[in-house]
Amino acid sequence: MNSFRVTPWEVEGSVDYEKLIKEFGTQPLTEDLKKKFVDLAGEDHVLLRRNVFFSHRDLDKVLDDCFSSKGFFLYTGRGPSGRMHIGHIIPFVFTKWLQDVFGVNVYIEITDDEKYVYKRDAKWNQIQEYAYDNILDIVAVGFNPDKTFIFKDSEYIKHLYPLALKVSKHINFSLAKAVFGFNNITNIGLIFYPSLQIVPTFFEKKRCLIPAAIDQDPYWRIQRDIAERFGYYKAAAIHSIFLPPLTGLRDKMSSSKPETAIFLNEDYETIKRKVMKYAFSGGQPTVEMHRKLGGNPDVDVSYQWLYMFFEEDDKKLEELREKYKKGDLLTGELKQYLIDKIWEFLEEHQKNKDKARRKVEKFMYDGKLSKRMWDLEFEDVFSE
Amino acid sequence: MNSFRVTPWEVEGSVDYEKLIKEFGTQPLTEDLKKKFVDLAGEDHVLLRRNVFFSHRDLDKVLDDCFSSKGFFLYTGRGPSGRMHIGHIIPFVFTKWLQDVFGVNVYIEITDDEKYVYKRDAKWNQIQEYAYDNILDIVAVGFNPDKTFIFKDSEYIKHLYPLALKVSKHINFSLAKAVFGFNNITNIGLIFYPSLQIVPTFFEKKRCLIPAAIDQDPYWRIQRDIAERFGYYKAAAIHSIFLPPLTGLRDKMSSSKPETAIFLNEDYETIKRKVMKYAFSGGQPTVEMHRKLGGNPDVDVSYQWLYMFFEEDDKKLEELREKYKKGDLLTGELKQYLIDKIWEFLEEHQKNKDKARRKVEKFMYDGKLSKRMWDLEFEDVFSE
């Protein structure tokens, strides 16, 4: 039986994304809508073309708001439970692209509170260290420092709290139980937390588009139930699948299982060793058999990573696929190809991260947008 | 059947305080312990002598800490759901006396967050207005401005939040349900709130003594379960009964039923009208019958108010009681006696409240203690 489970805190099993669309009640990202999207953006993006973003809510309305120049804003986030890996950075790469092509504001929530209450043995200071390191990774992606506000919940809480309380009044325990799978042993910090993740969707009186992995959708479901009562728009979302772990196509990459992921701070040697050792192969047990029978790219994680993100060139990708299937390309060769692609991406990322330290202030406190956010009181939300 | 119900948000029926002591698992305030208390304080207080404070947790240990000069600190609070009445101010009068005789710090939490999430139709701005007005009433009581910190949850939240999260990890929904009577339709803001009320018990690494009405005890019960795991003391408490409503001995005074209470801002005429009209009388239906049969002070609210707070002089009180029982004192006369006593107290209070506006800054931001509290980060609590 193909059973799986997706909540904001756990992804288990081999996820059936079509089934998830039905379960969560989201919309598939059709070719028609993608075309409209790409036309408006003026360019395509590999993550769209390869269906890493595969589902949405109200993306069509966001595009309409663009046409009618009402505009929209972007919101995404990161739970600082450890160092970031490739799977974590992908939604940020896409969000950055969206900012570039549409010229809109981006709000990035660092949910240190969530990560602290979620794990029983989480240490506050450890989470704060991860938060700072994660922020550097996010800054390294290259957002516009005057149109991006990165904030840590525990630090920005004075601004968030009244709004979170307002949100919390519309969510009773039954609803939280049904949507997030809470139960009697869930602690009251985690029970309250969803309020905090919903608040940033009310940062502007425009439609909010949230690029994030599909596991975050439960929050937006609740937001969409209450937003209009607040005089705000229902949040729109564009959902990504999970980049599969190195070790196979089930579950998602996990920081607690280092063999499943490539971390953003890893060097060439480590990446090479991990991919060579752990990347699940669709190839045959021996070179002779592989030459004869060929490999299966559909279960081969190296091929899947190239498909989903690392090989943007459609022709090149098709060529790899054909060669691999025919047995002309060996598993080791395919892996080496991926290793070089990953390193190309990470070498650049690591350089940018070195420079990020000097830019953090702007994103968090004194850029054009961040400064405005620290001055804001959100009083209008209470004026009703 | 004598049924009653006491939670931090509701008091219903005729409260059986002896039964409550057993139900809550607190200790009765014995004459022995009171004597020890009064000896150490160097003076007595009417609210102790008349058993308005009737129950406690670890008060004996607080007194021991005084003897051994470890010291302790005081913590109490106010939920700003409306204007304050006589019943609200009494614990503050007692707390102020404790500060005077023991020379200790007092922390006063204004729970605007709680009141906002508790009432479905509560308006944020209205609660903020009440909060400011309530703070003026509290300042008027005469606390030491360099040893008192008055803080509003929503304003001091950045300091409170990390500690509240830490507390929240030790309270699961089952426990919150059992202790506070939460259920499936309780909103997730109210479910989280107890964490916030527990935090101030960790403001100092000394024992915390909480003078408050008995309905607040559920919070301390949970605090006492977790405090030692945090490396802190279990909170001590001294519990008061509820000053009965004018209208009779059941329930407690309620801001939403103005006939049950005397508000701190009411003038002489209003007080007189209310007491004359609403104060439940233990007297006889006619003057003739009263002269003949006498009144019953035990059910007479005017007498009870004099007993509990307004007539400090034991001899004078005994005299009133005897005269009333004999029929020498008429209900109208007893009421007038109470009216004068209330006005004596409120006239002074209202003068002090006028001056309080100028003092608020010190209590909230730049007194010796309040300034220190704004500089504090509570990092030690996370060092474990």
CATH of the domain at B102: 3.40.50.620
Does residue B174 share a domain with residue B307?
A: no
Q: Is the pLDDT of residue A251 over 80?
A: no
Cα separation, B348 vs B142, in Å, equals 11
A367 part of a folded domain: no
**Residue among A84, A75, A29 at smallest CA distance from A52:** A29
B→A contacts (Cβ < 8 Å), by residue, are 113, 116-117, 120, 123-125, 154-155, 157-158, 161-162, 164-166, 168-174, 176-177, 182-192, 194-195, 382-383
Q: Residue B239 — φ and ψ, nearest 5°? A: -100, 135
Block residue for tokens 């973003």: A53
Decide if A161 and B168 are in contact by the 8 Å CB cutoff: no
State how far residue A155 is from chain B, nearest Cα, in angstroms.
7
Decide if B188 and A166 are in contact by the 8 Å CB cutoff: no
State how far residue B121 is from chain A, nearest Cα, in angstroms.
10
- For range A275-303, the mean pLDDT: 96
State how far residue B321 is from chain A, nearest Cα, in angstroms.
49
Last residue of a domain, one of B194, B215, B246: B246
Domain limits for position B192: 4-246
What DSSP state is assigned to residue B362? I
State how far residue B211 is from chain A, nearest Cα, in angstroms.
26
In chain B, the residue whose alpha carbon lies closest to the alpha carbon of A167 is B189
| Chain A residue numbers touching B188 (CB-CB < 8 A) | 168, 171-173, 176, 191-192, 194-195
Does residue A271 share a domain with residue A238?
A: no
The gap from C-alpha A25 to its chain's centroid, in whole angstroms, comes to 19
Q: Is the pLDDT of residue A36 over 60?
A: yes
Burial class (CB in 10 A: 0-12, 13-18, 19+), A64: middle
Decide if A186 and B192 are in contact by the 8 Å CB cutoff: no
Of A117, A123, A172, the CB nearest to B187: A172
Q: Which amino acid is at A219?
A: Y
pLDDT by residue (tens digit) across A213-224? Answer: 999 999 999 999
CATH number at residue B262: 1.10.240.10
Calculate the dihedral angle through the C-alpha atoms of A237, A238, A242, A243, rounding to the nearest 10 degrees. Answer: -140
| Chain B residue numbers touching A162 (CB-CB < 8 A) | 116, 124, 154
Decide if A158 and B158 are in contact by the 8 Å CB cutoff: yes
- Helix B124-140 vs helix B331-356: crossing angle, to nearest 10: 100
Does residue B128 share a domain with residue B262?
A: no
Does residue A268 share a domain with residue A207?
A: no
Q: Is the pLDDT of residue B383 over 80?
A: no
Q: How confident is the model at residue A256 (pLDDT cuts 50, 70, 90)?
A: confident
Q: How confident is the model at residue B263 (pLDDT cuts 50, 70, 90)?
A: very high
| Chain B residue numbers touching A151 (CB-CB < 8 A) | none
State how far residue A113 is from chain B, nearest Cα, in angstroms.
7
Of A124, A161, A195, the CB nearest to B188: A195
- What H or E segment, with its residue span, contains residue B72? strand B72-78
B77 part of a folded domain: yes
Decide if B165 and A116 are in contact by the 8 Å CB cutoff: yes
State how far residue A184 is from chain B, nearest Cα, in angstroms.
5
The gap from C-alpha A274 to its chain's centroid, in whole angstroms, comes to 23
Q: Which amino acid is at A139?
A: V
| Chain B residue numbers touching A163 (CB-CB < 8 A) | none
pLDDT by residue (tens digit) across B50-84? Answer: 999 999 999 999 999 998 989 999 999 999 999 99
Total H helices, total E strands in chain A: 19, 9
Give the 3-state secondary structure of residue B383: coil
Does residue A340 share a domain with residue A196?
A: no
Decide if B184 and A177 are in contact by the 8 Å CB cutoff: yes
Q: Residue B85 — φ and ψ, nearest 5°? A: -120, 180
In chain A, the residue whose alpha carbon lies closest to the alpha carbon of B383 is A125
- For range B200-228, the mean pLDDT: 96
E-assigned strands of chain A? 4-7, 10-13, 27-28, 53-57, 72-78, 106-110, 148-152, 207-213, 236-240
B380 part of a folded domain: no
Distance set, CA A276 to CA A335, A337, A340, B164, B189 (Å): 6, 11, 12, 46, 49
Of residues A287 and A6, the one with the higher pLDDT is: A287
Does residue A333 share a domain with residue A215?
A: no
Does residue A126 share a domain with residue A44?
A: yes
- Helix A217-226 vs helix A17-24: crossing angle, to nearest 10: 20
- Cβ atoms of B124 and B163 closer than 8 Å: no
> Considering the entire predicted model, what is its pTM?
0.95
B68 part of a folded domain: yes
pLDDT on residue A21? 94
Q: How confident is the model at residue B178 (pLDDT cuts 50, 70, 90)?
A: very high
The dihedral of CA A106, A112, A115, A118: what is its sign? negative
Cα separation, A283 vs A290, in Å, equals 6
Cα separation, B194 vs B180, in Å, equals 9
Last residue of a domain, one of A222, A246, A270: A246
pLDDT by residue (tens digit) across B294-338? Answer: 999 999 999 999 999 999 999 999 999 999 999 999 999 999 999
Does residue A122 share a domain with residue A241?
A: yes
Mutation pick from A117, A151, A179, A192 vs chain B, by most beta carbons of B within 10 Å, is A192
- Give the pairing type, strands B53-57 and B148-152: unpaired
Tokens standing for B370?
Answer: 């309040």
A370 part of a folded domain: no
Mean pLDDT of chain A: 94
Rg from Cα positions in chain A: 21
| Chain B residue numbers touching A194 (CB-CB < 8 A) | 188
- Cβ atoms of A161 and B154 closer than 8 Å: yes
Last residue of a domain, one of A195, A213, A246: A246
How far separated are the first and last CA of chain A, in Å rounded? 51
Does residue A274 share a domain with residue A240?
A: no
- Contacts for A306-311 with beta carbons within 8 Å, 24 or more apart? A306/A337, A306/A338, A306/A341, A307/A50, A308/A47, A308/A50, A308/A52, A308/A243, A309/A46, A309/A47, A309/A50, A309/A52, A309/A86, A309/A90, A309/A243, A310/A338, A310/A341, A310/A342, A310/A345, A311/A341
Rg from Cα positions in chain B: 21
pLDDT by residue (tens digit) across B7-22? Answer: 888 887 788 899 999 9
- The C-alpha angle with vertex B268 and arms to B263 and B272, in degrees rounded to 5, equals 85
- For range B146-160, the mean pLDDT: 97
Does residue B291 share a domain with residue B239?
A: no
Of A123, A124, A187, the CB nearest to B172: A187
pLDDT on residue B236? 98
| Chain A residue numbers touching B183 (CB-CB < 8 A) | 173
Cα separation, B290 vs B293, in Å, equals 5
Cα separation, B332 vs B316, in Å, equals 18
Between chain A and chain B, the number of residue pairs with CB atoms below 8 A apart is: 124
Cα separation, B337 vs B296, in Å, equals 16
Q: What is the DSSP string of A48-107?
A: HHTTSEEEEESHHHHHHHHHTT--EEEEEEE--SS--BHHHHHHHHHHHHHHHHH---EE
Of A120, A125, A173, the CB nearest to B173: A173
Does residue A200 share a domain with residue A268?
A: no
Does residue B191 share a domain with residue B242?
A: yes
Decide if A125 and B382 are in contact by the 8 Å CB cutoff: yes
B159 part of a folded domain: yes
Decide if A189 and B172 are in contact by the 8 Å CB cutoff: no
State how far residue A211 is from chain B, nearest Cα, in angstroms.
26
pLDDT on residue A75? 98
Q: Is the pLDDT of residue A384 over 50?
A: no
Of A162, A168, A186, the CB nearest to B187: A168
| Chain B residue numbers touching A117 (CB-CB < 8 A) | 165, 168-169
ipTM summary value: 0.94
- For range A228-253, the mean pLDDT: 92
Decide if B187 and A177 are in contact by the 8 Å CB cutoff: no
State how far residue A120 is from chain B, nearest Cα, in angstroms.
7
A381 part of a folded domain: no
Of B155, B165, B186, the CB nearest to A117: B165
Q: Is the pLDDT of residue B245 over 50?
A: yes
pLDDT on residue A381? 60
Q: How many independent structural domains does chain B possess?
A: 2
pLDDT on residue B254? 84
Q: Is the pLDDT of residue B2 over 70?
A: no
State how far residue A377 is from chain B, nearest Cα, in angstroms.
12
A373 part of a folded domain: no
